[in-house]
Structure 1
Amino acid sequence: MIEPWRTLLIVGLSIAAVVVLVLRVRLPAFLALLIVALATGLAFGAEPARVLEAVRKGSGEALGFVAVVIGLGAMLGGLLEASGGVATIANRLLDRFGERRAPWALTAIGIIVGIPLFFDVAFIILVPLLATLSQRAGRRVIYFALPVLAGLMTMHALLPPHPGPVAVAELLGADYGLLAAYGLVCGIPAAILAGPVFAKLAHGAPGFGAFAAPPAFDEDAPRLSPLGFGWALVGMLVPLLLILTAAVAGVLLPDGTPRDVIGFIGHPFVALVLACLLVTVVLVRGGTAMAVASDVMTRALAPAGLMVLVVGAGAAYKEVLIQSGAGQQVSDVVASAQLPVLLFAFLIAGFVRLVQGSATVAMVTAAGLCGPIVAAAALSPGRIALVTIAIGAGASIASHVNDTGFWLVKQYLGLTEAQTFRSWTIASTIAGVTIFAVAAGLWRFV
């Protein structure tokens, strides 16, 4: 195994290479990520065959789920957009809350939806609404998107049933009830600061450029028969409610046919298929020709293809970093320092997150190193829950080019790479630091 300083050097150079290739050389992000992934694997001394296998594994595992969700989400969004459904919802939301209060309502939506749903699934379903709100209000998309993203991100990092918090809770022996309670106490202030508060500051700051419609919107797509507010809302909420029902059933119902059936219907694939079918049936009954509705869905898949490729390349780069063992080496260096357990947990997760991109891997790595310390310190259940939260906080910071979420946000919101750094990367860091600060404040009281 190579020396830790060389590991950090290779990782740092690889991240810089992605930034330079995309921002300066202007290579497509898909090509730049693949080039850097291959070069990084070879720089770590891996055999060429293993590097190629890591690229295949990373992109294949990500696309096996994300590609289907992106495709179905694009089709549903295309139907709702071409029928005026998302415009109707956006108008009603703005009329009810106003432009100034809408980001606060969206933060609440992100928190509520983010408890049961995976980050990428919920974001893909909600992004047509965010883009339409932006166009309707004449504001940059980040003004409405960051509040939702902040809510989704904090819940994904802190609360079960998301895989990272569950894995950490199992490794540290955290109480799920305390984890949920403290997770909300720490996560809500973080979502507020990283969401509506930062969105207001970022929206007025220079460097974000004029808003351009996200690539999922096809101005030349045919218009469908109008979809009323009720059916538009149903079409958007059906997949969310089905997935939520499946999550609840998985916890409350015993093993057996009812649980399996609900779990099947509530899988994101099936839930999105049913939502597409429901909206299509309503539109056809309202006078839209089936061929026209099919054309809208087909057109919606074209920009989705680019999104899929970029996310897949980002996942390949991340997998190369994971298999290199860079995260573990960084963890070992940090572990040699004498630090308070809460700060140690936060820094370990943060360093691993920066190095290899995956929040879940960062959380599991940090939990593995913190486990013996937590056991030896004989911490109270409340403090164990706070250590779990500190790990989630560290794993949330600085989403950048080695994180598939970075590219998902960039592509779906129609941002440049620089704009994504200024908005999403900073917002994720604000959220992580705020979560840790609140957890540290609670430490002496539990």
Structure 2
Amino acid sequence: MEAIAPAHGTATLLLIAAAAVAVLLFLIMKVRLHAFISLVLVSLLTAVAAGIPLALVPTALTSGFGSTLASVALLVGFGVMLGRLLEVTGGAQVLADTLIGRFGEARAPFALGVAALLFGFPIFFDAGLVVFLPIILTVARRFGGSVLYYALPAAGAFAAMHAIVPPHPGPVAAGTVLGGDIGVVLLVGLPVALVSWYVGVYLVSRQLGARIYVALPDLLLGPVNGGGSTDAPTSDVDGSTGTGAGTATTTETRPAPPAFSTVLGLLLVPLVLIALNTVLTTLVTSEVIGEGNGLVEALQLVGQTPVALLITLLLAIATLGRHGRTLSETTQLLDDALGPICSIILITGAGGMFGGVLRASGIGEALTGSLSGLGMPLLLQAFLIATALRVAQGSATVALTTASGLIASQAEGLHDVRIALLVVAVAAGATVLSHVNDSGFWLVSRFFGMDEKTTLKTWTVMETTLGLTAFAAAVVLWPLSGLLI
């Protein structure tokens, strides 16, 4: 739903937004009202208070809810079924063992982060996180300690690549709006993303993991020693999933786990298909390939993220699911995997509803409009406007594209490298302060079994350090880029 004409002044809209977030946190963290109910209730109250016409309030609510579910529900559903197959067949264990063998046990979190950086190049944040979930939890189960040690480096890697590096839609749209060269945006953004991940995510996650203990969730793996105790790993090196993986008996003879090449090949399928779609779409947009080519359109279709994950799941059923079990047993296994994610999907959709109401009410535009005329340096202005949009409405991609449009006139005539640095600054602002109006906040919270307070103390902090590190890199490189002019 498009933003309507604001019914209140900027100051009033900002007060409404601040009050909405405060009430939401109070209901969830103090009253202990279910997050799904709280999000829907506060979204309704915010829509009314912000002056959205009462006849349009249901549309404002369902528009944000539906658009978020449209992008998340299929990914989470297919991803969790794929993850369950990888877990029960020992595929996740095989991949985890191989990664750890390459990097060493002491650097297991680093290994997960590096793998996520590679896979995160073409794959969106939510899709990558879903696919990597069983691998993260398998490594966490094996070595114990707070799940933050393993979850944050991987999740932060997907977040960094999604926000800063083409071919993801946010940086591509920002670079296009600002009139830059997407190739230069990629060449500048990739090293900035890598450095920002290491400083703002990996090093920070080590500190957060040492200070805050988060037990291993049983979303895929089943309870561990009563729900999160890490006194002893329950995964065996030979690929079995141990006593906590939901098996009925530990004396059952299991088939040998799949080969590493099989598991890696399955994970590469969505990577290749999505990357191919991205390349073809770029070529069509730039008119290198003409529109209407049937083969190109077919390849673009199979490269759409939900379709790519569906194809991967079908291949996993054929290669892993029939490994020592009937198709009926595999179907039951997949059906059981869907139950625990119902709450995740609904809460994530409700988070999108809240962000959609904030956008439709004009709160985001009011906030950015008040910042755009303050006469501050362009790089800082880009960062603060994107931050304001991020805080106000939650979506990093919306913050990227909207902030870029607001500063586009000031970017005319800039060198491509400086435009790329502006994209980094906007992406940095669109990354910080992920909170309750961000659907990604709820995905991370529910996937890793964290309550809202813990998620704010961990994920929100890490997203903020990631964004601040990227902005600091842009500030350092800005004067150096003058040497190229």
TM-score range, shorter chain: over 0.9
Alignment of 1:209-228 (within 5 A): 209-218=213-222, 219-220=245-246, 225-228=255-258
Q: CA deviation at 1:214?
A: 4.1
Query: Residue 136 of structure 2 aligns with which residue?
Result: 130
Q: CA deviation at 1:153?
A: 1.3
Q: Which amino acid aligns with 1:229?
A: A
Is 1:440 equivalent to 2:471 in the alignment? Answer: no
Cα pair distance change 1:379/1:264, threshold 3 Å: closer
Q: For the residues of structure 1 that align with 2:100 and 2:445, how far apart are their CA atoms?
A: 25
Is 1:198 equivalent to 2:204 in the alignment? Answer: yes
Query: Residue 242 of structure 1 aligns with which residue?
Result: 273
Cα pair distance change 1:306/1:445, threshold 3 Å: same
Query: Residue 447 of structure 2 aligns with which residue?
Result: 412
Bigger drift between 339-348 and 379-388 goes to 379-388
Report the secondary structure of 2:104's partner residue: helix
Q: Tell me the TM-score normalized by structure 2.
A: 0.87
Q: CA deviation at 1:281?
A: 2.0
Deviations, residues 310-356 of structure 1 (Å, cap 9, x unaligned)? 11100000000000111111111112211000001101101111111
Q: CA deviation at 1:100?
A: 2.5
More helix by share: 1
Q: CA deviation at 1:279?
A: 2.2
Q: Tell me the TM-score normalized by structure 1.
A: 0.94
Deviations, residues 87-140 of structure 1 (Å, cap 9, x unaligned)? 222223223322332222222222222221111111111111101110011122
Q: For the residues of structure 1 that align with 2:331 and 2:409, how far apart are their CA atoms?
A: 57
Q: How many residues are aligned here?
A: 442
Q: Contact 2:148–2:213 at 8 Å: present in 1 too?
A: no
Is 1:339 equivalent to 2:376 in the alignment? Answer: yes
What's the RMSD between the two structures over aligned residues?
Answer: 1.8
Match of 1:49 among 55, 58, 62: 55
Cα pair distance change 1:356/1:283, threshold 3 Å: closer
Query: Residue 429 of structure 2 aligns with which residue?
Result: 394
Is 1:311 equivalent to 2:341 in the alignment? Answer: no
Is 1:86 equivalent to 2:92 in the alignment? Answer: yes
Bigger drift between 48-57 and 341-350 goes to 48-57
Q: Contact 1:159–1:183 at 8 Å: present in 2 too?
A: yes
Q: CA deviation at 1:240?
A: 2.4
Query: Residue 357 of structure 1 aligns with which residue?
Result: 394
Q: Contact 2:421–2:478 at 8 Å: present in 1 too?
A: yes
Bigger drift between 348-357 and 91-100 goes to 91-100
Q: CA deviation at 1:167?
A: 1.7
Q: Which amino acid aligns with 1:279?
A: A
Q: Contact 2:64–2:355 at 8 Å: present in 1 too?
A: yes
Match of 1:290 among 320, 323, 327: 327
Q: Contact 1:386–1:439 at 8 Å: present in 2 too?
A: yes
Cα pair distance change 1:298/1:328, threshold 3 Å: same
Q: CA deviation at 1:434?
A: 0.7
Structure 2, unmatched stretches of 5+, are 1-6, 223-244
Q: Contact 1:67–1:308 at 8 Å: present in 2 too?
A: yes
Is 1:160 equivalent to 2:166 in the alignment? Answer: yes
Match of 2:44 among 25, 29, 38: 38
Q: For the residues of structure 1 that align with 2:385 and 2:56, how far apart are their CA atoms?
A: 27
Q: Contact 2:322–2:330 at 8 Å: present in 1 too?
A: no
Q: For the residues of structure 1 that align with 2:112 and 2:462, how far apart are their CA atoms?
A: 15
Q: Contact 1:90–1:132 at 8 Å: present in 2 too?
A: yes
Q: For the residues of structure 1 that align with 2:247 and 2:271, how far apart are their CA atoms?
A: 26
Q: Which amino acid aligns with 1:402?
A: N
